[in-house]
Copies of this chain bind each other. A is one copy, B any other.
Amino acid sequence: MAQKNKLKYIILGLLGERALTGYDIAKAFTADIGEFWSANHSQIYPLLKRLETAGLITHQLQVSGEKLEKKVYSLTAAGQAQLQDWLHEPTRELTASKDEFILKLYFVQNANDPLLPPMLTEQLNLHQAKLAHLKQQMARKFSDQASQIANYGHFLILQHAIEREQGYADWLARTLAQKNEH
């Protein structure tokens, strides 16, 4: 089952906040939620149909402009219930975070391999760029305490992502610095 249909719950969770189109849901994965899960629209649209057949969500047609039809999905009572069940379930598995760079590092046997400095530098740049982006988001969305409380989950997720990236970048920088000592 590969991952036991977590996407289903993400969709239910998003619809629990407000009614959304499939397109909106797909977009959510390019924002905050994308830090901790990913999904493409080609996975989302079929699943929305299945969830509707299962009675967990419904949709209303909404017309934009002349002809463009949107399907605006919302939770049914059954969907609401399954969402709550999921939230109340214990979460016991710590999924192994797949990280290709770390794997490469693992296979660079020699601590003095000339490949190491450019590899570390490249990753450092990537993580610093991401960190900067996340901090910007944080400043833009959660500058005041009121908004932090109003969107608590949002806020926590961003905070955690920032700390993770900061830690990653620090580790890379430290490892690089140690190489340069010699």
Residues of A bordering B, CB below 8 Å = 3, 6, 9-10, 13, 16-17, 32-38, 83, 86-88, 90-111, 115, 119, 122-123, 126-127, 130, 149, 151-154, 156-157, 159-160, 163-164, 167-168, 171, 175
Contacts and interface: CB of A to CB of B under 8 A. Distances in A.
Greatest chain B CB density within 10 A among A6, A16, A160 is at A160
A29 B155 CA distance: 34
**A-side interface mostly:** helix
Q: Specify how many copies of this chain sit in the oligomer.
A: 2
A115 to B, nearest CB: 7
B153 A107 contact: yes
B163 A171 contact: yes
Nearest to A86: B104
B13 A107 contact: yes
Contacts of A9: 103
A109 B3 contact: no
B94 A126 contact: yes
Contacts of A36: 96-99, 102-103, 106
Nearest to A175: B156
A87 B107 contact: yes
